[in-house]
Amino acid sequence: MAVYDPKSLKAEEFINDEEILATLAYADENKHNVELIDQILEKARPKKGDKGYVCQGLTHREASVLLACDIPEKIEEMYKIAEEIKMAYYGNRIVIFAPLYLSNYCINGCLYCPYHLKNKHIARKKLTQEEVRAEVIALQDMGHKRLAIEAGEDPKNNPIEYILDCIKTIYSVHHKNGDIRRVNVNIAATTVENYRKLKEAGIGTYILFQETYHKKSYLELHPTGPKHDYDYHTEAMDRAMDGGIDDVGLGVLFGLEMYRYEFAGLLMHAEHLEAVHGVGPHTISVPRVKHADDIDPDAFDNGIDDDTFAKITACIRLAVPYTGMIISTRENQTVREKLLRLGVSQISGGSRTSVGGYTEEERPHDTEQFDVSDQRTLDEVVNWLMQNDHVPSFCTACYREGRTGDRFMALCKSGQILNCCHPNALMTLAEYLEDYASPETKKNGYEMIERELERIPREKTREIARRNIEDIRNSNRRDFRF
């Protein structure tokens, strides 16, 4: 029997079934233990230190007690603290990105994904480098600076060389004032050697969703193909970090298994990365299963309602305060609006989940991975964020200045975010307004920039940011950063 050990490199020991079951039992026993719940909430609350706010985070056991708790006032308090943490670390900035689907060829048999091998009627498509260029131009013309590339697993059609070629092409396109400054990668688990190649190609975050931490369900949900290997998949982030990638993104696909099990597993994975590599995940994504070609989300028994989804998001925010949280266009505007307040720091906008979708006039459905709920244009998303007092940020400075892994975490903890990330966000927003925005968004955007510049504490930084924004408005000079 595997014994729980966060420092172990064996999947069954750091994501330990017995420990998760014991955690869920502990959470059930204590879900109405108000004294303990108050202690946990107090621990999670941001405290003012010498250099700004300090957050302790929570263990998977503590956070699981909060998730199990159904006392309405305590849930309200969780939401309040999640918002406080979000404002303390991330402020009101929301980073924007878009997915870019390279290929939907796949040899896996994932039961929730329409790209599974047995799906013979879905159109299979793989972008040529010329098509990648065209997609990137379309994305740059929308205003995107940050992409997440997506591909099915197929060593013949999508070998690592193909992915590397695509990354090279993406970074090489500079259309008008546009460029893609950070490419995050969401491809199947691979070898240390391949992760090293991705690192050398200049990727940002390596993202891999666990789908489910429940091994038995995992094996059933991935009946065929290389992804069937639970251990290889679960240990991928350790290989990625061994290959030199220090920003990794975790996620589970909510709906496949019991959400409380997934939640505990997700936090144990984060604790494991911290214990072994000294740095936790850069981001956590919270996707829910969606309808797609031959996939019916109701076929899975563990769908979660919007309130539970909000509670999960808030509890993640309390447990891992320094980890970015991502929500995609799988969710509609209303859900996104609520979750943004509870700790989400990155969203996608104007997304198309089909291979080659951005160059089409109409949203194509033939190669789509899942239905997009939020179908607004990027300009509409940017304007909506600002109307809700969030600063849309196209910033990619940290990774380009080498502030990744523990160096990014150090910036978070140093209280310097308002002197660094905030001006960077405002300067990249000005680029968007100047080059891509509609007149209304532009007007609202510059009003927001005026207000938000005042929030930069250091006078010198504020002056430089103001000057750079003037430059952006009056010239083609771009890409200023702190």
Q: Helix (H, G, I), strand (E, B), or coil: what is residue 143?
A: coil
For the segment 370-389, give every residue that binds ligand SAM (CB under 6 A): 370
Taking the complex as a whole, how short is the minimal distance between the CB of residue 292 and ligand SAM, in angstroms? 4
Total binding residues for ligand SAM by CB under 6 A?
A: 21
Q: What angle do CA 241, 242, 243 make, to 5 degrees?
A: 85
- Count of beta carbons in the 10 Å neighbourhood of residue 45: 17
359/373 with CB nearer ligand SAM: 373
How far is the C-alpha of 438 from the C-alpha of 456, rounded, in Å?
A: 27
Q: What angle do CA 192, 196, 202 make, to 5 degrees?
A: 145
The residues that bridge with 288 in the sheet, in sequence order, are 254
- Count of beta carbons in the 10 Å neighbourhood of residue 459: 8
Q: Which of 19, 150, 431, 434: binder of ligand SAM (CB under 6 A)?
A: 150
Taking the complex as a whole, how short is the minimal distance between the CB of residue 110 and ligand SAM, in angstroms? 7
Taking the complex as a whole, how short is the minimal distance between the CB of residue 287 and ligand SAM, in angstroms? 5
The residues that bridge with 392 in the sheet, in sequence order, are 94
Q: Helix (H, G, I), strand (E, B), or coil: what is residue 283?
A: strand
CB neighbour list of residue 83: distance below 8 Å, 6 or more residues apart = 341, 342, 343
Q: List the x/- string, 197-226, binding to ligand SAM by CB under 6 A.
A: -----------xx-x---------------
Taking the complex as a whole, how short is the minimal distance between the CB of residue 397 and ligand SAM, in angstroms? 26
For the segment 245-264, give every residue that binds ligand SAM (CB under 6 A): 253
264/355 with CB nearer ligand SAM: 355
How far is the C-alpha of 10 from the C-alpha of 2, rounded, in Å?
A: 9
Instruction: Answer yes or no whether residue 369 interacts with ligand SAM by CB under 6 A.
Output: yes
DSSP 378-399: HHHHHHHHHHTT-EEE---HHH
Taking the complex as a whole, how short is the minimal distance between the CB of residue 329 and ligand SAM, in angstroms? 11
Instruction: Answer yes or no whether residue 166 interacts with ligand SAM by CB under 6 A.
Output: no
Q: List the x/- string, 316-345, binding to ligand SAM by CB under 6 A.
A: --------------x---------------
206/482 with CB nearer ligand SAM: 206
Taking the complex as a whole, how short is the minimal distance between the CB of residue 313 and ligand SAM, in angstroms? 16
Q: What is the largest CA-CA distance in the chain?
A: 67
Total residues found in the chain within this entry? 482
Instruction: Answer yes or no whether residue 399 interacts with ligand SAM by CB under 6 A.
Output: no
Q: What is the DSSP letter of 425?
A: H
For the segment 278-297, give every residue that binds ligand SAM (CB under 6 A): 287, 289-290, 292, 295
Instruction: Answer yes or no whether residue 368 interacts with ligand SAM by CB under 6 A.
Output: no
Residue with tokens 């510059």, as numbered in its chain: 446
Spell out a b/e string for 155-182, using b for 16 or more CB atoms within 10 Å of the CB, else e. Answer: eebbebebbbbbbebbbebeeebbbbbb
Tokens (6 digits) for 285: 């994504």
Instruction: Answer yes or no whether residue 227 interacts with ligand SAM by CB under 6 A.
Output: yes
Instruction: Answer yes or no whether residue 74 interacts with ligand SAM by CB under 6 A.
Output: no
Half-sphere exposure of 190 (CA within 13 A, CB side): 26
Options 181-189, 336-344, 440-448, 453-461: segment touching ligand SAM (CB under 6 A): 181-189
Q: List the x/- string, 82-121, binding to ligand SAM by CB under 6 A.
A: ------------------------------xx--------
Task: Answer for the pair 252, 209: CB distance below 8 angstroms, yes or no.
Answer: yes
Residues that bind ligand SAM (CB under 6 A): 112-113, 150, 152-153, 186-188, 208-209, 211, 227, 253, 287, 289-290, 292, 295, 330, 369-370
